[in-house]
Structure 1
């Protein structure tokens, strides 16, 4: 240890762990993830981490004294903290060194997931919060950034002493996974020009420079019509966060959650249904699922993303490529495409036989209660799945086969394409074809189950007689309205090695006017009854304009909300705001607002799992896309598992339990996920399917192709084009 280093360490401001609260430490460790911790982290009250020399990487070590000296001179008021040595961490760093810092980390890659599992277990096992953050700080600068962020965030989500911590939005940590390369380059150029000359840049209200993100294809590509859905930041964040809450490997309490396999099925089934409806709104043909692993992939995708970790563009995929056998030594992945056929056939055989094969030769029945959960854990396996060596890892390896189609033998040393990581996979059109194949497997199992009997659908003594939808500031009922929203997001926390400055990017996403459900219910019983209200939306007609057959329509119902209500004897009027949805969460709270203790009006809670609220309803079209709203009242007493936490507890992801469940507790809805549309029906139409405790309402979704400049989802003065009025005589402002 140099004399300078000894002098610096002995003269730093002594700060205890109690003074450096867990929230600030979390934000600091995730701030500018590619920069070493020797560079102060944070804006409001920066933290300087004093790292023992043996944990400073070889490429930084020669300049450590310069960085420390610079930090001491320019950040004299910083809080500083001494990281303590940990020999166990040192051994693990050596173990993780095979995954270079410049490689793209992917939970689909078994060797990467093995490392993540080991690191997560280690962090989860730390005896106290001090040991946890000390180990995390050492890992941060010495392992692959993607590996660290995954393991650190999973641990934050699941440690009991981290319940109060709110994580920053993941797009601020890795903006290159959400914002196109040219836009990020322009942002970095602005940061260089700004430098540190403007002392006001650390203020929450500072002026920002706005950049527009770029499209990934021209309008000559039909699939570009759905780029607003596939490349939406909120949708991709939801997918990433879901897999952080439900990782493939790790401690049993982290991985083997209640009905995890069934939730994998339902969450992705709902994604597909929403995607199908968006295709219909845009006059695109229905999705063609992936069926033949030996046929050309017709879809091309050029993501326009640049990864800072690997300092290269994410690999594009031209149209017409063929999947090839994988033999990638560095990634420890060897697989023949024929194996995908074999694994799928084994799963389909289990469905046909109604039972899965266990390692000892015995079998387990795929019954109507747990069968879908068992099957889900086989299709997307964990270390706790049944007979993983036999059924293997179909879902993940299809992702990898497509992700490495450009370099299956690692000849050109190319990394994964976007389909190969959970945070970017949903951008690629082939993701939906892949999951169409996966969903087909689940649907074949569901077809083996008997249709719901009438008594399984009814709620005795409860009748729903009417349902209306009222959109804010709109006089006509049962009409919903969507438009484009321009939102500004902060990039300063992700522009590693560039001066801190007020650099942001403007992104445009779909949004809608808020609305209210009004439901009329009659309780014919003598006593009050508690009901569970379920609200769904589905298309009404097929591409030819014919009313959809119910068995086709039922696979397109998307869940909009689920909540409980007390029904007194007689007539009841139920009102529910769209913002209260059990499916969605608001846009993520920024790092800056967390650092400055800003309280969001609609706080998404400590985890980012939940469908983005701005995508709650489909886009619709200018003529008014026709659909049907279905409201169902079921018996709360038999259908719901009461939770032991409040809505604002650290245990719950806001109210987005429909797609995300609740931490450390049973999935709250006892009915099969997707009920009552998850089984074949003898009904030919929706009307024939319905029972007295259900009510439907025809609705139209109008889309206006204009952009609002507001960030709020509840503004009355959305900007509409004055030259084109809605048929409902909407007043523009």
Structure 2
């Protein structure tokens, strides 16, 4: 599923390796540059035990005394001003969805970003590691690293190991801390066998999918998406406009919704439900999470009332409590989205009207809905998601700007754990769908590729299963001397996975053709077994793969393995394993091999397929081949080993994201020889059964 957002720029960012041809590129390359390796080692140090104070040597560095070491003096002065006023203290909870926190995060990010060289960046980061709130530091540094020219190819350690509090239940963290207290320093590795929150408390049917909602790969993917493409980042200043950021914003959420729907069908559930702000929110949520400072994440009861009168009872309604007006703000902003789409015009800050239908302006609309700095009127089309997350998250109204207790929806690391996330973004995606309905459907001529015909598609049998996955949660405990303490503790969970598979597409081409191949996976039936029409079902197709291919005249057979899909990445190397490999390479013991999927981000390969059912569940595969159309990139693409933000490498061609499912479908126009729709069956098996010879040969 390309939820992968990699295609979607952000999404699913295309971490394509440099390719000699149009087929599969080499994803791994070796590094022998000792300077690079030493810098990677030093950066990794900054992420270890981030909740503990660092050594005092970082405090000797002076930002003001080294202002010439930064390329943007204004950014430095702005940060210094905020610092003197007082930043978010260490130990407090940080959330980018709170205004004061966000402003400080942007200022710190720019301080890192505009450091003149790596040495200045590192000195600044060491200082901030000691003196700045840990959550603020982690967010700003991570964002700067992936955007700087000299550090974008550094590997960030798995966020679920850096900040395990946001990925594992409070019970698991408590066990880890108990093991640490009882540890005798003998180097023993402790293992915590963990389940998901739905196992302990299932408030409603929605939380029965906690194995998917709480998957560490899924949630870290969404976190990294928003590190590479922050909603507050200026597209001109940081070149995000080259990546079609507005369109990819929509496509990210559309694909997330589609993938979740496939998983719901595998569990007997139907469509993601639609909610009304005027009625109590039907589905509550209990996160089981606990913040590092001991506070529990806010919970939402079933049938939670959303009105301001109830929600703000006993709280101040002054400007400092701006989130108390979330109910009104969300409804006002959604009304403006609807009115603009229906009228066909967006209002700019200067009072001009921009025609939404002179061409496909999905990129423009996406910027408006996200309310990023590229929006034509950021004040009028305000930060919908900020208020909506606060409203549905049911977090408390802050009495102080630094004493906040955000809900799960108010962190990118935890938002997808709450089923309300999907109901919320279903609302916003419906606006985009409405916009696309107003655009003309693709005609036969637009879909047809003369001289190219798909003759056959073969997929291996598709199997899913649950297997054990270990996550190092050592950062959840306190170390008196982190450099000498050998204590290790890990959490072992059952996570969804699939057996690797290969597909083959037989294509006849009348001549040499430069083309792009797209493969989608979608449902065939709803939860009642009714066959869905292709038009009503189009928003439920997940992009599995997309690649450029040069067809030769005559018969062509494309063969690709599921481990080759660029949109999907394997599990990340643990922090300790990564650090060990780097040290070995520095010492000349081994050569460090960098996997592009580690240095960028993608949708977890484990979740490529929905769970399916033991008896087999029918889905549909759709393949379409179209002529290659060069993308209109505003910057010449450089020979990066993998996707670099701002280069336009996040998309292969100039077709709309999700083509041809992005517009209404007319059945008589949709069936072209260069496309094919056929059934596939996904079986869910026990791992032991799957490993047996019978399971290898029989469903």
Distance 1:544 1:36, change over 3 A: closer
Alpha-carbon distance in structure 1 between the residues aligned to 2:182 and 2:48: 21
Contact 1:368-1:449 at 8 Å conserved across structures = no
Alpha-carbon distance in structure 1 between the residues aligned to 2:189 and 2:88: 37
* Superposition pairs of residues 685-724 of structure 1, within 5 angstroms: 689-704=670-685, 706-707=686-687, 719=691
Is residue 2:566 matched to residue 1:566?
no
Residues paired across the two proteins, number: 633
Alpha-carbon distance in structure 1 between the residues aligned to 2:408 and 2:577: 30
1:139-188 Cα shifts (integer Å, max 9, x gaps): 12222211111110111001111134211111111001001111112112
Contact 1:103-1:415 at 8 Å conserved across structures = no
Is residue 2:175 matched to residue 1:176?
no
Is residue 2:40 matched to residue 1:23?
yes
Distance 1:52 1:358, change over 3 A: closer
Alpha-carbon distance in structure 2 between the residues aligned to 1:580 and 1:234: 18
Name 1:59's counterpart in structure 2.
none
Alpha-carbon distance in structure 2 between the residues aligned to 1:178 and 1:52: 31
TM-score, with normalisation over the residues of structure 1? 0.80
Alpha-carbon distance in structure 1 between the residues aligned to 2:403 and 2:85: 20
Name 2:491's counterpart in structure 1.
505
Q: Give 1:517 deviation, angstroms.
A: 0.8
1:616-649 Cα shifts (integer Å, max 9, x gaps): 0111011211011111111124569798355xx4
Q: Give 1:256 deviation, angstroms.
A: 4.5
Is residue 2:515 matched to residue 1:531?
yes
Q: Give 1:468 deviation, angstroms.
A: 0.4
Alpha-carbon distance in structure 2 between the residues aligned to 1:347 and 1:578: 39
Is residue 2:546 matched to residue 1:554?
no
Contact 1:555-1:677 at 8 Å conserved across structures = yes
Q: Select the structure of larger CA radius of gyration.
A: 1
1:455-506 Cα shifts (integer Å, max 9, x gaps): 1111111110110012xxxxxxxx3100001011222244343644121111
Gaps of 5+ in 2: 1-33, 68-75, 583-590
Is residue 2:698 matched to residue 1:729?
yes
The alignment partner of 2:581 has SS state of coil
Name 2:412's counterpart in structure 1.
422
Contact 1:451-1:680 at 8 Å conserved across structures = yes
Alpha-carbon distance in structure 1 between the residues aligned to 2:58 and 2:87: 23
* Superposition pairs of residues 181-580 of structure 1, within 5 angstroms: 181-195=170-184, 197-198=185-186, 201=187, 208-218=189-199, 221-250=204-233, 252-253=237-238, 256-290=241-275, 292-308=276-292, 310-325=293-308, 327=317, 333=323, 335-367=325-357, 369-407=359-397, 415-470=405-460, 479-497=461-479, 499-525=485-511, 528-580=512-564
Alpha-carbon distance in structure 2 between the residues aligned to 1:353 and 1:566: 43
Q: Give 1:421 deviation, angstroms.
A: 1.1
Q: Give 1:53 deviation, angstroms.
A: 6.2
Distance 1:162 1:118, change over 3 A: same
Contact 2:153-2:599 at 8 Å conserved across structures = no
Alpha-carbon distance in structure 1 between the residues aligned to 2:387 and 2:126: 32
Is residue 2:628 matched to residue 1:644?
no
Contact 2:637-2:648 at 8 Å conserved across structures = no
- Greater percentage in helix: 2
Contact 1:643-1:665 at 8 Å conserved across structures = no
Alpha-carbon distance in structure 2 between the residues aligned to 1:354 and 1:126: 43
Name 2:71's counterpart in structure 1.
none
Alpha-carbon distance in structure 2 between the residues aligned to 1:110 and 1:95: 18
Distance 1:266 1:132, change over 3 A: same
Distance 1:583 1:254, change over 3 A: same
Name 1:609's counterpart in structure 2.
601
Q: Give 1:20 deviation, angstroms.
A: 8.9
Distance 1:369 1:21, change over 3 A: farther
Distance 1:113 1:400, change over 3 A: same
Alpha-carbon distance in structure 2 between the residues aligned to 1:666 and 1:416: 32
Name 1:75's counterpart in structure 2.
none
Gaps of 5+ in 1: 1-16, 39-48, 56-82, 202-206, 471-478, 654-660, 709-716
Alpha-carbon distance in structure 1 between the residues aligned to 2:402 and 2:110: 34
Name 1:94's counterpart in structure 2.
83
Distance 1:412 1:18, change over 3 A: closer
Alpha-carbon distance in structure 2 between the residues aligned to 1:617 and 1:600: 31
Is residue 2:615 matched to residue 1:623?
yes
Distance 1:118 1:407, change over 3 A: closer
Alpha-carbon distance in structure 2 between the residues aligned to 1:141 and 1:678: 48
Alpha-carbon distance in structure 1 between the residues aligned to 2:417 and 2:157: 22
Contact 2:453-2:675 at 8 Å conserved across structures = yes
